[in-house]
């Protein structure tokens, strides 16, 4: 595997070997037997770093290194290799370092002894005899080297004659002088730079990982207090797995308690730094003194396998160390890019694979060194959003083919999938959810007026909130509902005005009718004349009465015939409309059923909606039934038997019968003609009277429909507003998670007062300036103003009524109907108010808004796919970068892989980038290099450190990653100093 920077590995900081100076319980027959077992178990447990521990000595460390150096030669009795090639390769890469265990407190308090471990850089081992063992003294002034300890044992018990027994006696009772150690630390920089001091609080073997340091601090008293405090102040780390210790030493003593906040955290950090010298990581080791305990405990450390890597836990005590079983910061393999490669046939780009870390990868380099090209190539290969891959004018950000003919780029995921930039157009991306944020993109979003194609901030936030499939479906359903309401509302408005016109037409028709009282008086007079004429022919009173009864039946028959005509016309018109409506509904129903994918769902709803087909069939049958044909004699009749034909026959038969019965009463021809004329007049007057009654009834019904339609219009209006409240409530869960990052998102239903005013101003008679009379149309109203629905609703209703009553004066070219539609249009919108550190998004500086938008893009994304960012620090002030951006990247890199181009040292160093990619263009900035590539890259952890090699002519290989950072990135050296002092007493 290639270099991927700081990586989580298992470290065992505290492990003894056979022959350890104290409490040796190992049962292996020989040291070779022991080391065989030792390394086999290390391989089985995949332990990558081991601290070989002994009391006051590194002899066992040297023996371990000597065995490891010849591990490939180890064979059993039959000549078979004791270790496989795979085991040898793994064991050869184990970082083995010496851990010298010391005792620090007076022998009078052995029950509360504090042991201190000196972990050394293996490269410093050659200097230890002179700088350490021969320098440190105990309280009696005895040197800590083998000669001094042996003599000390002899002094304690002169009866012991054997040197190794004397040495054992000395070891058993040797307690070092704190003053001596402190003097060494303060005077010997080389010692300090190559040593980590790890404190334990007990001399009981095997117990150092379980003691409670925090309890000591809670109960400190007496003369030991100052000494213990001094020991803790010079230490770099703590041997403890106790949760209280872990929280206390990283400055989070109260973390998780009610009311815990940033202020408490800062106070607790300051308290630990002041009283314990620095924040410190807690680590564990198995402290094995027998084979069964070998590697029974371990600590996860995120670093390179070297001493500089180990030192990083002091600068990042919380984030570089974890005591747990599972690998920290787990991410799905399919969502991780493992490596990328330029396929460069002309050696324009380095063809060596660039390996990526699962967490934070930063790309640094001088101007035009190929930083952004690398990031763009990754985004382009994985088919990021086309809108961010191109410039505003639609051109590619980088025309890679022009840079090199035959250029290609390859990406391999942790899951083992590979994809090239040049591939078949129908080949889908292996990481389609990748996020790419190019340079200046955040600024364009923060200031959309800089980019004519830019989105409004509110639309941007809404798009992010509805990015996941579920929220997107909810929002689309909401859009569909309000759109449907728009159609329904406008349809009801059309019905309202159609009804209003129908009422007007009916009233106009009613005005053409004679006066009702005149008609009634004329009918009464003519009826009396008929009666008088009948009497003049000699009809008796009884006969006159019978005639009047028959005449009444004939009039009723005529009325019935007229009603028949009206009803036939009504049904004929309605059935025609009904057929068209059912045809349209059937088409929609058939289309919906066709879209359904599950057959069982389709079958169920085919039956459920079968009534639509049945109704259409029935309506077509009715149309056929009431179809009229003209016979040869000119008479009209229905083609098929139907209810109308049946009723018409009855009416006709009644008429024939009545006329037949009335004939005997009309014998006198002259009288008969007079009576017929009078009866015709009476019939016409009664018909006119009937028409007045019908028209009056229709007007009443239409007026009721007008009121009902108006009510329905406003119910739809209220319903649309409620849909905004519903969608905002539904999407609330999408925003809650961001609150932990200090982002507050509050959804509101706002009203676009400005748009309504603009629309109404355009159609209003300026001379009358009617719009000045309504609060909702005030030019002081803005879309960002709080929207009180009840107030808006009352104003809308008032505008509606005043338009109908023509109190609101419109231009001549504007109809009241179109004006009403404008007033009742949906001017509500879902507004997402963003607050960060007491600022609203729309009121922030461009730099701060850019950062908040970055938080939104990352925080609202449900995908954990990689995110690519090109120079997010642009337009941010340095303080915002140091605090907000750095802390945010620290948090989010634990959730998803981040690849970022930057020229800011704080992002590289203080965000603790796990992997730093250094880019270089040959000949750029007067830097010469013997690399064969024009664009070259190298990568590693920030702890990869070595000073410039004068003889190395390949510029990228000439120094360590740390030195490249200091050399390339402005403020790089200062950033390292700031990081190393951040959690320490100074």
The predicted-structure confidence for 779-831, as pLDDT tens digits, reads as follows 888 877 888 999 999 999 999 999 999 999 999 999 999 999 999 999 999 99
Contacts of residues 521-530 at CB distance under 8 Å and 24 or more positions apart, as own/partner, are 522/681, 522/685, 523/682, 523/685, 523/686, 523/689, 526/678, 526/681, 526/682, 526/685, 527/682, 529/678, 530/675, 530/678, 530/679, 530/682
d(CA 966, CA 715): 68
* pLDDT score of 114 more than 50: yes
Residue pointed to by tokens 């349809």: 491
Q: Which range (140-154, 714-728, 914-928) has the least confidence?
A: 914-928
* Domain co-membership, 216 together with 262: yes
pLDDT of residue 549: 84
* pLDDT score of 443 more than 90: no
Per-residue pLDDT tens digits for 586-634: 999 999 999 989 999 999 999 999 999 999 999 999 988 888 876 665 5
Residue pointed to by tokens 């009396």: 528
Q: Which domain holds residue 507?
A: 488-710
Per-residue pLDDT tens digits for 509-535: 788 777 777 777 877 777 777 667 666
Is residue 846 a part of any domain in this protein? no
Is the Cβ–Cβ distance between 681 and 526 less than 8 Å?
Answer: yes
User: Which of 273, 288, 322 is the last residue before a domain boundary?
Assistant: 322
Question: Residue 108: pLDDT band by 50, 70, 90 thresholds?
Answer: very low
Please tell me what DSSP assigns to residue 876: -
d(CA 748, CA 787): 9
* Domain co-membership, 513 together with 614: yes
* Domain co-membership, 497 together with 605: yes
Residue pointed to by tokens 């996860």: 300
User: Which of 269, 288, 322 is the last residue before a domain boundary?
Assistant: 322
DSSP string, 610-639: HHHHHHHHHHHHHHHHT-EEE-TTS-EEES
Higher pLDDT, 862 or 428: 428
* pLDDT score of 541 more than 80: no
Per-residue pLDDT tens digits for 630-688: 666 556 678 788 888 889 889 989 988 888 887 776 655 555 676 667 777 777 777 77
* pLDDT score of 211 more than 50: no
- Strands 115-120, 95-103: pairing is antiparallel
pLDDT of residue 110: 47
Cα dihedral sign, 615-618-620-622: negative
Percent of residues, the chain, with pLDDT higher than 90: 54
d(CA 916, CA 158): 60
Q: What is the b/e burial string over 538-569, where b = at least 16 CB atoms within 10 angstroms of the residue's CB?
A: ebeeeebebbeebbebbbebbeeeeeeeeebe
d(CA 719, CA 707): 18
Closest to 524 in 3D by CA, of 685, 409, 378: 685
* Domain co-membership, 363 together with 245: no
* Domain co-membership, 419 together with 560: no
> What is the 3-class SS of 769-792, one letter each residue?
CHHHHCHHHCCCCCCCCCCCHHHH
* pLDDT score of 69 more than 90: yes
d(CA 675, CA 427): 96
* pLDDT score of 124 more than 90: yes
pLDDT of residue 740: 77
What H or E segment, with its residue span, contains residue 744? Answer: strand 743-751
* Domain co-membership, 950 together with 823: no
Q: Which range (367-371, 540-544, 692-696) has the least confidence?
A: 540-544
Question: Residue 452: pLDDT band by 50, 70, 90 thresholds?
Answer: very low
Q: What is the CATH number of the domain that holds 277?
A: 3.20.20
- Strands 337-343, 354-355: pairing is antiparallel
* Domain co-membership, 535 together with 645: yes
Distance from chain centroid for Cα 277: 40
* Domain co-membership, 410 together with 514: no
Is the Cβ–Cβ distance between 465 and 832 less than 8 Å?
Answer: yes
The CA dihedral of 198, 202, 207, 209, to the nearest 10 degrees, is -30
Q: How many domains does the chain have?
A: 4
Residues 6 or more apart from 826 whose CB is under 8 A from it? 482, 485, 486, 720
Backbone phi, then psi, for 915, in 5-degree steps? -140, 125
Cα dihedral sign, 787-793-796-798: negative
Higher pLDDT, 179 or 501: 501
Is residue 635 a part of any domain in this protein? yes
Average pLDDT over residues 86-92: 96
* pLDDT score of 327 more than 70: yes
Across all residues in the chain, what is the average pLDDT? 87
Is residue 457 a part of any domain in this protein? no
DSSP string, 270-298: HHHHHHHSB---EE-----SSGGGTTSS-
Is residue 776 a part of any domain in this protein? yes
Is the Cβ–Cβ distance between 47 and 12 less than 8 Å?
Answer: yes
Average pLDDT over residues 943-959: 90
Average pLDDT over residues 417-423: 93
- The pTM (predicted TM-score) of the whole model is 0.77
Average pLDDT over residues 232-242: 92
d(CA 914, CA 7): 7
580: left (phi over 0), alpha (psi -120 to 50) or beta: alpha
Question: Residue 42: pLDDT band by 50, 70, 90 thresholds?
Answer: very high
Q: Which range (59-63, 299-303, 739-743, 957-961) has the least confidence?
A: 739-743
Per-residue pLDDT tens digits for 259-297: 888 899 999 999 999 988 999 999 999 999 999 999 999
3-state SS of the chain: helix, strand, coil percent to 5?
Answer: 55, 15, 30
Is residue 58 a part of any domain in this protein? yes
DSSP string, 83-98: S-HHHHHHHHT-EEEE
* Domain co-membership, 675 together with 800: no
pLDDT of residue 669: 53
Range list of H helices, 513-609: 516-536, 541-595, 599-608
222: left (phi over 0), alpha (psi -120 to 50) or beta: left
Q: Which range (12-21, 79-88, 177-186, 237-246) has the least confidence?
A: 177-186
pLDDT of residue 605: 93
State the CB neighbour count (10 A cutoff) for residue 864: 15
* Vertex 634 angle, CA 630 and 637, to 5°: 40
State the CB neighbour count (10 A cutoff) for residue 673: 11
pLDDT of residue 979: 77
pLDDT of residue 855: 86
Q: Which two tokens stand for residue 335?
A: 């969502």
pLDDT of residue 178: 83
* Domain co-membership, 492 together with 591: yes
Average pLDDT over residues 144-161: 93
Is residue 845 a part of any domain in this protein? no
User: Which of 651, 676, 710 is the last residue before a domain boundary?
Assistant: 710
Is residue 279 a part of any domain in this protein? yes
Closest to 827 in 3D by CA, of 749, 730, 710, 725: 749
* Domain co-membership, 338 together with 308: no
Per-residue pLDDT tens digits for 363-402: 999 888 999 999 999 999 998 777 778 887 778 888 888 8
Distance from chain centroid for Cα 102: 52
Reduced to 3 states, what is the DSSP secondary structure of residue 859? Answer: helix
d(CA 496, CA 477): 28
Is the Cβ–Cβ distance between 13 and 46 less than 8 Å?
Answer: no
Average pLDDT over residues 173-183: 87
> What is the 3-class SS of 297-319, one letter each residue?
CCEEEEECCCHHHHHHHHHCCCC
Q: What is the CATH number of the domain that holds 419?
A: 3.40.50
Higher pLDDT, 454 or 949: 949
pLDDT of residue 527: 76
pLDDT of residue 666: 64
* Domain co-membership, 695 together with 779: no
Is residue 905 a part of any domain in this protein? yes
């Amino acid at each position: 595997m290639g270099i991927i920077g700081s990586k989580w590995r298992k470290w065992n900081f505290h492990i003894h070997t056979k022959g350890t100076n104290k409490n040796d319980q190992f049962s292996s027959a020989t040291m070779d037997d022991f080391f065989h077992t030792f390394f086999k178990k290390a391989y089985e447990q995949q332990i990558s770093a081991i601290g070989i521990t002994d009391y006051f000595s590194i002899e066992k460390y040297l023996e371990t290194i000597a065995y490891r150096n010849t591990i490939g030669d180890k064979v059993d009795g039959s000549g078979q290799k004791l270790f496989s090639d795979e085991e040898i390769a793994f064991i050869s890469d184990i970082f083995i370092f010496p851990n010298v265990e010391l005792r620090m407190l007076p022998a009078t308090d052995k029950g509360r002894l504090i042991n201190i471990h000196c972990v050394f850089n293996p490269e410093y081992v050659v200097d230890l005899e002179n700088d350490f063992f021969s320098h440190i003294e105990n309280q009696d002034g005895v040197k800590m080297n083998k000669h001094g300890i042996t003599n000390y044992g002899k002094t304690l018990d002169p009866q012991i004659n054997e040197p190794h027994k004397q040495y054992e006696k000395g070891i058993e009772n040797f307690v070092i002088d704190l003053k001596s150690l402190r003097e060494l630390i303060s005077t010997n920089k080389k010692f300090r730079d190559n040593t980590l001091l790890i404190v334990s609080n007990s001399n009981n073997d095997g117990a150092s990982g379980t003691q409670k340091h925090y309890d000591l601090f809670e109960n400190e008293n007496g003369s030991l207090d100052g000494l213990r405090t001094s020991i803790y102040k010079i230490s770099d780390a703590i041997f403890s797995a106790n949760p209280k210790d872990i929280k206390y030493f990283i400055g989070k003593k109260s973390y998780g308690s009610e009311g815990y906040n940033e202020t408490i955290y800062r106070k607790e950090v300051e308290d630990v730094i002041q009283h314990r010298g620095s924040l410190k990581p807690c680590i564990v080791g198995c402290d094995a003194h027998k084979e069964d305990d070998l590697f029974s405990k371990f600590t996860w450390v995120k670093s390179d396998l070297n001493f500089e890597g180990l030192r990083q836990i002091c600068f990042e005590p919380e984030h570089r160390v974890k005591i747990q079983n599972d690998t920290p910061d787990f991410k799905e393999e399919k969502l991780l890019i493992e490596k990328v490669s330029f396929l460069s046939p002309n050696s324009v780009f380095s063809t060596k694979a660039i390996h990526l870390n699962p967490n934070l990868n930063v790309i640094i380099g001088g101007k035009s060194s190929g930083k952004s090209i690398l990031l763009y190539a990754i985004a382009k290969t994985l088919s990021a959003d086309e809108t961010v891959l191109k410039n505003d004018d639609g051109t590619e950000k980088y025309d890679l083919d022009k840079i090199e003919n035959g250029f290609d780029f390859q990406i391999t995921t942790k899951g083992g999938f590979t994809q090239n930039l040049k591939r078949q157009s129908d080949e889908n991306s292996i990481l389609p959810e990748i996020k790419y944020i190019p340079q200046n993109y955040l600024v364009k979003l923060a200031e959309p007026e800089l980019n004519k194609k830019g989105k409004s901030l509110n639309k941007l936030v809404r798009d992010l909130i509805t990015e996941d499939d579920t929220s997107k479906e909810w929002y689309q359903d909401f859009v569909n509902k309000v759109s449907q309401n728009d159609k329904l509302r406008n349809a009801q408005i059309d019905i309202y005005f159609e009804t209003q016109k129908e009422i007007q037409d009916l009233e106009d028709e009613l005005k053409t009718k004679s006066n009702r009282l005149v008609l009634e008086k004329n009918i009464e007079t003519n009826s009396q004349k008929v009666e008088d004429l009948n009497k003049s022919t000699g009809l008796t009173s009884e006969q006159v009465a019978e005639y009047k009864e028959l005449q009444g039946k004939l009039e009723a028959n005529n009325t019935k015939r007229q009603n028949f005509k009206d009803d036939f016309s009504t049904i004929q018109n309605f059935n025609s409309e009904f057929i068209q409506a059912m045809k349209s509904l059937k088409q929609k129903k058939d289309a919906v059923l066709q879209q359904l994918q599950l057959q069982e769902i389709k079958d169920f709803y085919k039956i459920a909606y079968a009534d639509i087909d049945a109704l259409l069939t029935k309506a077509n049958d009715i149309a056929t039934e009431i179809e009229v044909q003209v016979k040869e004699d000119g008479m009209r009749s229905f083609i098929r038997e139907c209810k109308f034909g049946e009723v018409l026959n009855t009416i006709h038969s009644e008429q024939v019968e009545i006329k037949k019965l009335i004939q005997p009463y009309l014998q006198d021809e002259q009288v008969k003609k007079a009576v017929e004329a009078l009866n015709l007049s009476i019939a016409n007057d009664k018909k006119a009277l009937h028409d007045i009654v019908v028209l009056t009834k229709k007007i009443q019904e239409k007026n009721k429909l007008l009121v009902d339609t108006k009510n329905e219009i406003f119910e739809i209006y209220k319903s649309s507003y409620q849909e905004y409240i519903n969608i905002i409530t539904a999407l609330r869960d999408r925003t809650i998670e961001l609150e932990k990052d200090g982002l507050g998102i509050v959804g509101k239903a706002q009203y676009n007062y400005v748009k309504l005013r603009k629309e109404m101003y355009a159609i209003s008679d300026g001379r009358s300036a009617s719009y000045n009379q309504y609060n909702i149309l005030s030019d002081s109203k803005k879309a960002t103003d709080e929207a009180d629905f009840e107030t808006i609703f009352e104003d809308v209703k008032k505008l509606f009524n005043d338009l109908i009553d023509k109190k609101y004066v419109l231009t001549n070219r504007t109809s009241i109907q179109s004006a009403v539609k404008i007033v009742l249009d949906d001017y509500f919108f879902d507004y997402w108010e963003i607050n960060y550190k007491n600022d609203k998004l729309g009121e922030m500086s461009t730099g701060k808004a850019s950062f908040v938008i970055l938080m939104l893009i990352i925080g609202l994304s449900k995908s954990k796919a990689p995110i690519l960012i090109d120079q997010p620090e642009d337009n941010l002030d340095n303080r915002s970068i140091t605090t907000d951006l750095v802390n945010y990247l620290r948090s989010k890199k634990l959730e998803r892989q981040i690849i970022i181009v930057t020229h800011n040292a704080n992002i590289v160093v203080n965000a603790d980038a796990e992997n730093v990619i250094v880019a270089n263009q040959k000949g750029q900035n007067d830097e010469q290099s013997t690399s064969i590539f024009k664009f070259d890259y190298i990568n590693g952890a920030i702890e990869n450190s070595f000073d410039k090699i004068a003889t190395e002519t390949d510029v990228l290989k000439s120094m360590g990653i740390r030195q490249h950072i200091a050399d390339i990135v402005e403020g790089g050296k200062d950033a390292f100093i700031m990081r190393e002092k951040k959690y320490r007493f100074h």
